[in-house]
Amino acid sequence: MADVRRAAREWAGSLEAMPGRSLFLVGLSGGGDSLALAWALSHEAGPLGIEVGAVIVDHGLQPGASDVAHRAAVEADKLGLQPVLVKSVTVEGSANLEDNARIARYRAFTEALRETGAQGVVLAHSLDDQAETVLLGLTRGSGPSGLKGMPAKDGAFHRPFLGIQRATLRQALVDAGLEWWEDPHNTDERFTRVRVRQQVLPVMENELGPGVAQALARTAELFRADSSALDEEATQWFTAHALVEGEGHGSVEVSELEQVSVALQTRVLRMLVVRVGGGAPTYAHTQQMLRLLEHWRGQSAVDVSGASVERVDGRIVARKST
């Protein structure tokens, strides 16, 4: 219980210098993790001048979803959280249900921020969630972008519990005499993350010894520090060397790009595509762009995430696709 409240207090204390109205919304499902977050902040945020409300998202994915949302709202009210918003969303399509539900949920969070004027949404992702994210990123071959896991702060979204295990959050609720809702989807092995949680990580812990989740979360922290440094260096290089000629057109000099490391080259090329209006390039797309540098044989333009990238007169030129 003490660790949970301490994490909430440290997070709230870090916001003291923020200007404007200090209202934050807990992303509350009624499950153990988010209820522990709401409970901890109800005790720790007020004395530090932080107002706490809640936003509850009804995904409508299972019978009784609206009742669950209503009970979560009642719990939030009992804890003294204000305002309390319930947002009903429509999750599009049955394929990639996890991703589609997450997109709908974050859209609802953004709407709640706009409606209340709150400065951010506080999410209850735990150390275990971080470990699962890293392991999933590793299996997908997503590189540093996947291995760095979830950030403690990502724009308006805050995650103060990334250093606390799920079991610790649940024990805090038991000690506080609070009951939580168990989402059936958390044990539904149709979902990849659930299979990682229930099958893969337990096997790793059994075969490799305890502490696997902590090691994976630590890996995320280390990757994030290194990746952030490279991202910053790439941004500075891009600002100094790239030529962005209005919307939809940009380029960099091949001879200048060849002087930097591959780690910077890939970041600069991805940045170039995004700056001209394309989407984030995949690994395969990035490798195709690198061949315009490393294995130039007069290749034609490469179609990359809504942009066209080619080598013209000693420059890598990106144009938004029409």
Nearest in space to 275 (alpha carbons), one of 230, 309, 229, 233: 309
Mean pLDDT, range 256-280, rounded to an integer = 94
Are 186 and 36 contacting, i.e. CB atoms less than 8 angstroms apart? no
Say what the pTM is. Answer: 0.84
Instruction: Give the per-residue pLDDT at 95.
Output: 65
Spatial CB neighbours of 189, under 8 Å, sequence gap ≥ 6: 195, 198, 199
C-alpha–C-alpha distance, residues 282 and 291, integer Å: 15
- Counting beta carbons within 10 angstroms of the beta carbon of residue 21, is it exposed (0 to 12), middle (13 to 18) or buried (19 or more)? exposed
Question: Buried b vs exposed e over 103-119: b needs ≥16 C-beta within 10 Å?
Answer: ebbbebbeebbeebebb
C-alpha–C-alpha distance, residues 317 and 254, integer Å: 10
The band of 19, judged by pLDDT with boundaries at 50, 70 and 90, is: low
Would you state the torsion angle of the CA atoms of residues 271, 274, 278, 282, taken in this order, to the nearest 10 degrees?
A: 50
Mean pLDDT, range 98-111, rounded to an integer = 90
Instruction: Give the per-residue pLDDT at 122.
Output: 98
Instruction: Give the per-residue pLDDT at 192.
Output: 87
- State whether residue 78 is helix, strand or coil: helix
Instruction: Give me the residue label for tokens 């394309």.
Output: 278
What domains, with CATH codes, occur in the chain? 2-218 (3.40.50.620), 242-320 (3.30.465.60)
Task: Tell whether the model's pLDDT for residue 319 goes beyond 80.
Answer: yes
Task: Tell whether the model's pLDDT for residue 17 goes beyond 60.
Answer: no
> What sign has the CA pseudo-torsion 249, 254, 259, 261?
positive
pLDDT in tens, 121-158: 999 999 999 999 999 988 877 677 778 899 999 999 99
C-alpha–C-alpha distance, residues 305 and 274, integer Å: 9
Nearest in space to 93 (alpha carbons), one of 59, 68, 66: 59
Are 51 and 80 contacting, i.e. CB atoms less than 8 angstroms apart? no
Alpha helices in the chain (DSSP H): 2-13, 32-44, 65-78, 97-116, 127-139, 144-147, 166-176, 192-195, 201-208, 212-241, 254-257, 262-275, 283-294
pLDDT in tens, 160-171: 999 999 999 999
Question: Buried b vs exposed e over 225-259: b needs ≥16 C-beta within 10 Å?
Answer: eebeeebebbeebbeeebebeeebbbbbebeebee
Spatial CB neighbours of 100, under 8 Å, sequence gap ≥ 6: 91, 92, 93
Number of Cβ within 10 Å of residue 181's Cβ equals 17
**Exposure on the CB side of residue 32, measured as CA atoms within 13 A:** 18
Instruction: Give me the residue label for tokens 């807990």.
Output: 26
Mean pLDDT, range 187-211, rounded to an integer = 90
The band of 93, judged by pLDDT with boundaries at 50, 70 and 90, is: low
C-alpha–C-alpha distance, residues 272 and 292, integer Å: 14
Instruction: Give the per-residue pLDDT at 98.
Output: 79
